[in-house]
Chains A and B, each alone.
Chain A
Amino acid sequence: MIRETLGMVFIFIGIAFDFLGVLGLVRLPDVYNRLQAATKCVTFGSAGILFGVFLINGFTSFGFKALLGIMFIFLSSPVAAHAIARAAHRGGIPLTRESVIDEYAKDKELK
């Protein structure tokens, strides 16, 4: 009983994080800002939902697959986000006008 309640609480928090991250994806002005908001929706949004599913199902095959999904998402999603940001900067997509500093361009000049 308490396990299912705790799992539903985790699922609610995960859904709220998903919605807020997608709202940031629509609202923010730049590629890099959008990427920063959208990656937040990965690390607690869908991982929270999968952890809630694991808490509800317990140590069955379904629950272990949910844990495996959490591990895979935590390993793969930052790599993809980093690759997209690096490719966008090298592909010449400009920053927004309100940004104050760009350290990566300085690093590319030094090389």
Chain B
Amino acid sequence: MKLFKWITGLMFIAAFVYFNFFVYKGEILFKLINVNLFSALFVLFRVIVGPSAADRIVAVDILGVLIVGMLALIGLHYKQGFFMDIALIWALLSFVASLAFSKILEGRQLDD
């Protein structure tokens, strides 16, 4: 069973690397953004199948940070600065949401 999981994951990653870096003819920044979105797919896998609630909270926290990096790359391609404003606000909201989720997980209420 463990070998089956290993082979499935390796084939998934190898197929992504082949189609992203050798088949897809685009700019280099779009290839990097594709790698970032693929990482976000792994994070969503952990959100769906995570055994406990803390796994899901960790995954959502990391998803916010990944999206901050992706927004910086998109702004670098379009040469416009307001994407960094969206990234800053996204980081702030992700931080507040992580603190609130962890407080609920501990068993206390929000006004404690």
Contacts and interface: CB of A to CB of B under 8 A. Distances in A.
Interface string B52-74: 11110111011001101100110
Nearest to B33: A15
A84 B35 contact: no
Interface of B: 9, 28, 32, 35-36, 38-39, 42-43, 45-46, 52-55, 57-59, 61-62, 65-66, 68-69, 72-73, 75-76, 81, 84-85, 87-88, 91-92, 95, 98-99, 101-103, 105-107
Contacts of B58: 25, 31, 34-35, 38, 84
Interface of A: 8, 11-12, 14-15, 18-19, 21-23, 25-26, 31, 34-35, 38, 41-42, 45-46, 49-50, 53, 56-57, 60-62, 65-66, 68-69, 72-73, 76-77, 79-81, 83-84, 86-88, 90-91, 93
